[in-house]
Structure 1
Amino acid sequence: MSEPHLDPEQPLISHLVELRQRLLHSVLIILAIFLALFYFANDLYEWLSAPLTALLPEGTSMIATDVTSPFFAPFKLTLVAAIFAAMPFLLHQAWAFISPGLYKHEKRLAVPLLLSSILLFYLGIAFAYFVVFPLVFGFFTSVGPENVAVMTDISSYLNFVLKLFFAFGIVFEIPVATLLVVWSGMTDVASLASKRAYVIVGCFVVGMLLTPPDIISQSLLAVPMWLLFELGLIMARLTHRERNEALDEEGETNN
C-alpha cells in the first residue's frame, strides 16, 4: 500500500501556523454569527423556554434570582447557538487540516462520515427539544406538591437544557463512533454484536450519569443510544465490504 499523498515536507512551525489560521477563522465565524444573533437573544430564550412555559400553571412564570441573569442568560444562549450554527464550518476546518494525510479511500469515506456527523448532532438536539423536553417538563411540573408554585430560574433552566443538548448531540454520534471503531480494526461487527447486552447496560449507566435523576430522562437517552448503536452496526456491515474493495483496488493499482 502506498503512503498517503502528502504535501512536500514542511517544518512543524508551518503546520502550527496553518492550525492557528484555521482556529482564527473558526473564532471569527462564531463571532460573526454571535453578533448577527445577539439582537434576537431574548427571542431565542423565549423559544428555548417554550417547552417549559407552556406547562407552567396559570399565573406563574420563570424568574431571575440574580440581578445579572436577565442579560447573561440570553447572552450565554446566543453564544452557544452561534457555536452550534457554526458547527459545519468548524468540522470543515478540521477536515481541511487533516485530509492531506489521509489515503484516497479514507477521503472517499470520510466526506459522507463528516456530513453524517453534522446531521446526527443536529438531530440529537432536535430530538431533545421536540421529544424529551415536553415529556420531562410535563413530568416535573405535575408531580410537585399543590402548594408549591413552579417558578424556575432562567439561568438554572438554561444550564439544564444545554446539558441535555450536548448530551443528546454527542450521543447521536454513536453510529459514527461505531463505524470508526470497526474501520480502525480495534474490533469487528460480530464482536460488537456479541456484546450487545453489555452495551445496553452501559447505555442506561450513561443515561443515569448525563441526565437528571429521573427514570424518564434516563430512558429517553438510553433507548436512543442503544438504537443508534444498532444503526452503527448495520452501517458498519454495509460499508465494510466497500472499504475492503477500495483497499484492494488501491493495492492493485500500486502494484
Structure 2
Amino acid sequence: MEKKIKNTDNTDNANNTDNTDDSRMPFLEHFSELRKRIVHIFIIIIITTGFSWHLSYNAVNVIEMPLEKPTYITYFSGELKNIIKQKVPFIYYAFGLNKTPKKFTKHILHYSAPLEPFFMQVKVSIILGFMMALPFIFFEIWQFIKPGLLKKERMYLLPFMFFGTLSFISGMVFMIFYIWPAVINFSLSYQNTNLSPLINLTHFVNFALRLSIIFGVIFELPIISTLLSIAGILKPDILTKNRKYALIGSLVIAAFHADIVTMFFIAIPLYSMYEISIAISTVVWKLKKIKQKSAKTEQ
C-alpha cells in the first residue's frame, strides 16, 4: 500500500511538472519570437544606417539651404505683400508691410569641437537609417502581433500602420521644405549692425530634427482621429465644438514668426490637419450609421 501511495504521489508530481512546463512553453515561445524580431529590427537599422551615411551629408546640406540662398518665403512674401497693398492698403501700412526687406546675406555653420561634425553626421545617419527602416520595422512588429489578432483587427491595423508611417515621414519632409525656411527667415530677421548670428552646427541640426519629429507627430492627427472614431471614442461633434481652440492654437504656434505673412504660411497647414481630422471622423460615423441601418433592415 505504501509503495502504491508513493507511486501515485510520484505520478502526481510528474503531472504537475508536465502541466507547468506546458503552461510555460507558450510564454517562452512568445519571448523567443520577440527576441528574434528585436534582433531583426536591430540588424535592419544597422544596415540602413550604413547606407544612410552617404546620404547624411546631403541631408545636412538640405537643412543648410535657408542659410545659403533666399527661400520660397522671400518670393511669396513679396507677391503677397503686393496683393495686400492693392486690395487692402490699410492692413499693408498698419502691419508695416511697406518696409524695405533686408538684403539676403549668406551664412555658414560653425563647430567648436574637433569631432563635432563627425558625431553630427553619425547622428543624422542613425535618424535617416531609422526612417528608411520604418517599413521593415513595422513589418517585424506586424509579424509578431499578427497571430494574436482577430481577422477584423488585422484588417484595420495593417492600413493604419502603413498610413501612420507615411504620415509621419510626410510631416518631417513638410517641415524641412516648407516650415524650416520660414523658421530660419525669422531667426535671421534679428540680424542688424550690432547683432550677427554665429550659428553652431550641433544646435542648428538638433533644432531641425526636433521640429521634424514634432511635425511628424502633428501629421499623425488625422490617423489618430480615424482610429478613435472607428473605436467609437471620438465623435465629429467634439472636434467641431473645439474648432476655435484649434485655430487659436495654430495661430499661437505660428505667432513667433517675424511678420504676419510668414505666420499665416505656418498656421494654415497646421489648422488644415485639424479640419482633415473632422472630415475623416464625419465620414467614419456616417459609414457606421449606414451599417447600423442595413443591419436593422436585415433583421
Give the TM interval when normalised to the shorter protein. 0.7 to 0.9
Say whether residues 1:82 and 2:134 are aligned partners: no
What secondary structure sits across from 1:143 in the alignment? coil
Shift of 1:204: 5.7
For 1:242 and 1:108, the matched residues in 2 are separated by: 16
Q: Given the superposition, is the C-alpha separation of residues 72 and 196 from structure 1 closer, same or farther in structure 2, using an over 3 Å criterion?
A: same
Match of 2:164 in 1: 117
Match of 2:31 in 1: 16
Shift of 1:249: 9.8
Q: Percent identity over the alignment? A: 24
For 1:140 and 1:133, the matched residues in 2 are separated by: 11
Match of 2:105 in 1: 57
Aligned residues: 237
Q: Given the superposition, is the C-alpha separation of residues 29 and 245 from structure 1 closer, same or farther in structure 2, using an over 3 Å criterion?
A: farther
For 2:114 and 2:217, the matched residues in 1 are separated by: 33
What secondary structure sits across from 2:183 in the alignment? helix
What secondary structure sits across from 1:65 in the alignment? coil
* CA contact 1:172–1:228 (8 Å) conserved in 2: yes
For 1:46 and 1:95, the matched residues in 2 are separated by: 35
Report the residue type matching 1:214 in the other structure. Answer: F
Q: Work out which of the residue numbers 172, 179, 189 in structure 2 matches 1:132.
A: 179
* CA contact 1:105–1:246 (8 Å) conserved in 2: no
* CA contact 2:188–2:197 (8 Å) conserved in 1: yes
For 2:294 and 2:53, the matched residues in 1 are separated by: 51
For 1:100 and 1:245, the matched residues in 2 are separated by: 31
Report the residue type matching 1:51 in the other structure. Answer: P
For 1:10 and 1:249, the matched residues in 2 are separated by: 45
* CA contact 2:52–2:129 (8 Å) conserved in 1: yes
- How do 1:59-208 residues align onto structure 2 when only pairs under 5 Å count? 60-203=107-250, 207=253
* CA contact 2:51–2:129 (8 Å) conserved in 1: no
Say whether residues 1:231 and 2:276 are aligned partners: yes
- Once superposed, what is the RMSD of the aligned Cα atoms? 3.1
For 2:112 and 2:124, the matched residues in 1 are separated by: 17
Shift of 1:61: 1.6
User: Could you report, residue by residue, the CA deviation over 1:46-94 in whole angstroms, capped at 9, with x for unpaired residues?
Assistant: 2332233335724x42110122212111111111111111112222222
* CA contact 1:31–1:82 (8 Å) conserved in 2: yes
Show structure 2 runs of 5+ residues with no match. 1-23, 71-103
Q: Which has the higher contact order (CA 8 A, sep 6+)?
A: 1
What secondary structure sits across from 2:110 in the alignment? coil
Match of 1:44 in 2: 59
Say whether residues 1:35 and 2:57 are aligned partners: no
Report the residue type matching 2:105 in the other structure. Answer: P
Bigger drift between 43-52 and 122-131 goes to 43-52
TM (norm. structure 2) is: 0.68
Match of 2:10 in 1: none
Larger radius of gyration: 2
TM (norm. structure 1) is: 0.78
For 1:218 and 1:184, the matched residues in 2 are separated by: 36
